[in-house]
Amino acid sequence: MRANMSLDVTAIKRDFPILGQEVNGHRLVYLDNAASSQRPRVVIEALERYYERDHANVHRGIHELSTRATRAYEGAREASARFIGAADPSEVVFVRGTTEGINLVATAWGYENVREGDEILLTVLEHHSNIVPWQLLARRVGARLKYIDIDEQGRLRLEQLDELLTERTRLVGVTHVSNGIGTINPVEEIVAAAKRVGARVLVDGAQAAPHLPLDVEALGCDFYVFSGHKMCGPTGIGVLWGRRELLEEMAPYQGGGEMIEIVELERATYKRPPHKFEAGTPNIADAVGLAAAMDYLERIGRERIQAHERDLLAYALERTHEIPGFRAFGPERDHSGVLSFELGDLHPHDVGQILNDRGVAVRAGHHCNQPLMRRLGVTATTRASFYLYNGRDDVDALCEGLRDVIEFFS
Ligand code: 7TS
């Protein structure tokens, strides 16, 4: 069973041309996957093939290339629906990424459904992109934002739900996996509580869709959002999944070509979802690239990817335990492959800089989690984030680098 679950990291690494290089005279050790992952050759080739053979505008004209491009683009929608366990591809809206998906919901759903005195419940774990769009909405309509706190391990304090959820709560916005400290949240439980007061639930899946098996129907949420570039796909493409009945009643987000049925001088009628939300020429090529990325991940298997990352995290925690001053953030259980830490009182930027000198790429900063950093009582952390192509040798390189950092500053 375990042998079946383990990944052949050496073979997987070879699928990613960018990982074969040296940086500052060292083998590149790429541990900034929570910010953006790398792409396998099959994704790069899918983009190349599309541009070399099939490109034309979609949903227009009857010529061969337009037909092929439309088929490829709509095929990517079907692949996206399958990837997240959605039965109906018309519930999949292509967006630029997680940020645009959340802004779309906060605008198109929010302005219709959130009124003065209503409440939006978020968590202190949220990325800025699941906070600021709701602040903009709340300010415009006079709604109130509330937040679920975390405990000392960085887990959401679900016992607060009873008090925080009221009959005024219109929406609960929660990240499936924290990009800052790696907490995997019990989304089903939060959805069940939200439904009891009739609130809708948006799940930010930016750090989950690339790493764990997903079934949006089983989660029970109303909206699920993620980005292609964090899951081996291109930049500038992502998915907003929304329940059909909600997408049907929502107003358009942007107006323009592709999203209309009839346009008169004073008014227009709109297409049905998802096209109602895809004004203008869409990002056809990158949707095709995203489908290739999903296919690649599916062939490896997200259960195996998740098990591999869990294994790497356990190994990293064991190895870093020996490093003086190392302190990891995030829970002991239900922790993704995101390892956020501090090293004594050294500044994360100094840590990241010296690791970079040794070819190790990590992120240092607030990770677009300023409220979370404030809650943890730090201004920044150093963050290593693992993916399917990272092996124990990468963790070893990180640990050696951290020892060098300590030596440099001692
Ligand atoms: N939500 C979460 C949980 C994220 O981790 C990110 C990006 C976003 C939303 C925004 O995604 P985008 O593709 O629209 O930019 N997170 C990070 C990060 O942790 N470091 O750089 C970007």
Three-state SS across the chain?
CHHHHCCCHHHHHHCCHHHHCEECCEECEECECCCCCCCCHHHHHHHHHHHHHHCCCCCCCCCHHHHHHHHHHHHHHHHHHHHHCCCCHHHEEEECCHHHHHHHHHHHHHHHHCCCCCEEEEECCCCHHHCHHHHHHHHHHCCEEEEECECCCCCECHHHHHHHCCCCEEEEEEECECCCCCEECCHHHHHHHHHHCCCEEEEECCCCCCCCCCCHHHHCCCEEEEEHHHCCCCCCCEEEEECHHHHHHCCCCCCCCCCEEEECCCCEEECCCCHHHCCCCCCHHHHHHHHHHHHHHHHHCHHHHHHHHHHHHHHHHHHHCCCCCEEECCCCCCECCEEEEEECCCCHHHHHHHHHHCCEECEEECCCCHHHHHHHCCCCEEEEECCCCCCHHHHHHHHHHHHHHHHHHC
**Final residue before a domain boundary, out of 298, 321, 354:** 298
User: Are 20 and 48 members of one domain?
Assistant: no
Catalytic residue at 399? no
* Final residue belonging to a domain, choices 279, 298, 317: 298
Contact by Cβ (8 Å): 316, 363: no
Q: pLDDT value at position 59?
A: 85
Within a domain: 59: yes
Per-residue confidence at 1, pLDDT binned at 50, 70, 90? very low
Nearest atom in ligand 1 to 369's CA: 19
Looking at the structure, do residues 214 and 349 belong to the same domain, yes or no? no
Residues whose CB is less than 8 angstroms from the CB of residue 107 and which lie 6 or more positions away in sequence, other chains included:
133, 137, 253
Task: Judge whether 35 lies within some domain.
Answer: no
Q: Would the CB of 366 count as within 6 Å of ligand 1? A: no
Whether residues 130 and 241 share a domain: the answer is yes
In angstroms, rounded to a whole number, what is the distance separating the alpha carbons of residues 255 and 236?
19
**CATH number of the domain where residue 216 is located:** 3.40.640.10
Residue 34 beta carbon below 6 angstroms from any ligand 1 atom: yes
Q: Report the residue among 104, 132, 207, 387 best suited for mutation to probe ligand 1: largest number of ligand atoms under 8 A from its CB.
A: 207
How does pLDDT run across 210-234, given as a tens digit for each residue?
999 999 999 999 999 999 999 999 9
Tokens at 143, concatenated: 């709604």
Q: How many angstroms does the Cα of residue 201 sit away from the middle of ligand 1? A: 19
Residue 341, domain member (yes or no):
yes
* Domain interval for residue 185: 44-298
- pLDDT (0 to 100) of residue 3: 46
Domain co-membership, 363 together with 224: no
Sign of the dihedral defined by the CA atoms of residues 269, 273, 274, 277, in that order: positive
**Does the beta carbon of 204 sit less than 6 angstroms from any atom of ligand 1?**
yes
Q: Is 206 in the pocket of ligand 1 (CB under 6 A)?
A: yes
Atom of ligand 1 nearest to the CA of 129: 9
- 205 with 259, same domain: the answer is yes
Backbone dihedral angles phi then psi of residue 246, each to the nearest 5 degrees: -75, -45
Q: What is the pTM of this model?
A: 0.98
Is the model's pLDDT at 117 over the cut of 70?
yes
Same domain, 243 and 310: no
Tell me which amino acid residue 151 is. Answer: D
- Asked whether residue 256 falls in the same domain as residue 394, the answer is no
In the chain, the number of structural domains is 2
Tens of pLDDT, residue by residue over 65-89, are 999 999 999 999 999 999 999 999 9
How many Å apart are CA 332 and CA 348, to the nearest integer? 22
Considering the domain boundaries, does residue 177 fall inside one?
yes
Residue 37 lies in a domain: no
* 35-44, 52-61, 373-382, 383-392: least confident range: 52-61
Q: Whose CA is nearest to atom 18 of ligand 1?
A: 35
137 and 197 assigned to the same domain: yes
pLDDT tens track for 36-65: 999 999 999 999 999 999 999 998 778 999
The CATH number for 399's domain is 3.90.1150.10
Residue 169 lies in a domain: yes
- Residue 39 lies inside a defined structural domain of this protein: no
Q: Using the mean position of ligand 1's atoms as its centre, give its distance from the Cα of residue 304 in Å.
A: 23
97 ligand 1 Cβ < 6 A: yes
- Say if residue 122 is in the same domain as residue 228: yes
- Provide the token pair at 353: 């800089």
Question: Closest Cα to atom 17, ligand 1: which residue?
Answer: 35
Q: Is the CB of 368 under 6 A from ligand 1?
A: yes
Residues 147 and 180 both lie in one domain: yes
**Same domain membership, residue 310 and residue 282:** no
The total number of residues shown for the chain amounts to 410
Which of 178, 230, 370, when mutated, tests ligand 1's pocket best, judged by the most ligand atoms within 8 Å of its CB? 230
Distance 322 CA to ligand 1 centre (A): 31
Pocket lining: 227 vs ligand 1, CB cutoff 6 Å: yes
Domain final residue, candidates 263, 298, 333: 298
Contact 38, 30 (CB under 8 A): yes
Q: Is the pLDDT of residue 2 over 50?
A: no
* Domain annotation covers residue 403: yes
User: Mean of the pLDDT values across residues 184-209?
Assistant: 98
Rounded Cα distance between 385 and 268, Å, is: 47
Let me know whether 182 and 272 are in one domain.
yes
